[in-house]
Chains A and B, each alone.
Chain A
């Protein structure tokens, strides 16, 4: 009987720790996150490395879509949006192309190993005063299936995950 009681107590403790651990860890991580109430996405710049216009637009639109899905706690503003002017704790994303290799869908499908498309974007998050909050290089690739523009979607998904990992909404505990 005593043994049974001990086993049950241990089990309860184990379950409680299992459930509480990640939650406490998450809360601890949340306090490390950068507080923001909105995110303004600037158009992708490609001054040094020339990027076809359709890639530039697809990157920008995919970013806005993915931020809406995966970083929904932030209000996403487009470049030039007048509503963003009065938003406190607004984070601005400046993206610059640092690497681009346009592959070929045909080559990918025929050879499997050749023809990958790859884009590397330097993402710089600043506050409204221009102070840098976070800087990362994010890569987008398409190796096997899909057209070349799929690399832009891959990049946007990774960038959205990065935002959700590093930013939290203002007022959230």
Chain B
């Protein structure tokens, strides 16, 4: 009798494990957040956001409608979170552990044209073109003529030119003049600038702890010629997962690169160096 009860108990214990879904949570990175035009036009009070999630080699654009009054999603670019990808939805857990499910608007492999998966996309002109044409928040580290170092702005590609818009001004570089476009990965401190430097002197090593909070960024390095033939170089940083698609858009419009066919979306410099060495 005791054996039978034990066997039943073991079976009952095993049932939840067997009934678990075979799907697994993956780490996704938010690469951009754009207001969802359709929702904003119909009812501004319930504004939704098109959140681009890079999961592995795929980029999913999901429609996220935040709870009323909470707009923190607008600043979530670069954030990593655990997600479960379904057929039509993506499930994620918020910081309180509450599970939320959001619909997938479009899905694309990195570096390819986006393919519509729902009717919502056909109604949204923002999703018709390649995703990388949308303005990307970026920081110019060095090299752009007339722009101070570490200037924040947005990068766009329009009419065969790369535009960097910053504090009311706009600098441009002709895509055809680009001799080399290279991407890389890096990380930066979560707290930067003067505050970041001052935090180093925090008591009891708190500054050192703060410096361990870092966010990943992509680097985009461009070499180009001016009208006089002079060689220039410019380095941008941008949210993780965006540089490679941006590079491919530049190449598609006529820019040259020494790394024409990356095997992975997040190609780091050391890998590029290895590829060059093999060639």
Contacts and interface: CB of A to CB of B under 8 A. Distances in A.
A50 B230 contact: no
A106 B209 CA distance: 10
B84 interface: no
Given A52-B269, A54-B219, A106-B187, A145 B200 contact: yes
Contact of A54 (B200, B269, B276, B277): B269
Interface string B184-209: 10111100000001001000000110
Contact of A52 (B184, B208, B222): B184
B231 A109 contact: no
A54 B231 contact: no
A54 B273 contact: no
B184 A109 contact: no
Interface of B is mostly: strand
A82 interface: yes
A154 interface: no
Given A58-B142, A105-B189, A53 B230 contact: no
A145 B197 contact: yes
B208 A110 contact: yes
A120 to B, nearest CB: 18
Interface string A49-90: 010111011101110000000000000011111110000000
Contact of B276 (A50, A56, A77, A106): A50
A110 B211 contact: yes
B188 A147 contact: yes
A43 interface: yes
Contacts of B207: 109
A110 B212 CA distance: 7
Contacts of A56: 221, 233
B228 interface: yes
Interface string B238-271: 0000000000000000000000000000000110
Contact of B230 (A81, A106, A147): A81
A56 B273 CA distance: 13
A51 to B, nearest CB: 8
A149 interface: yes
A106 B235 contact: no
Contact of A79 (B184, B187, B230, B270): B230
A154 to B, nearest CB: 14
B182 interface: yes
A106 B214 contact: yes
A17 to B, nearest CB: 45
Contacts of B80: none
A81 B228 contact: yes
Contacts of A78: 226, 230-232
A80 B225 contact: yes
A52 to B, nearest CB: 4
A60 B221 CA distance: 13
Contact of A50 (B182, B211, B231, B273): B273
Nearest to B223: A57
B234 interface: yes
A52 B258 CA distance: 13
Q: Which of B207, B208, B276 has the most CB of A within 10 A?
A: B208
Nearest to B181: A53
B215 to A, nearest CB: 12
Given A105-B189, A106-B187, A54 B221 contact: yes
Interface string A7-36: 000000000000000000000000000000
Given A43-B231, A60-B231, A109-B208, 17 more contacts: A43-B223, A50-B277, A52-B269, A53-B272, A54-B186, A54-B221, A57-B222, A57-B233, A78-B230, A78-B231, A82-B229, A106-B214, A109-B200, A110-B208, A110-B212, A145-B197, A149-B235
6 contacts: A43-B231, A50-B276, A57-B233, A58-B141, A77-B230, A78-B232
Interface of A: 43, 50, 52-54, 56-58, 60-62, 77-83, 105-106, 109-110, 145, 147, 149
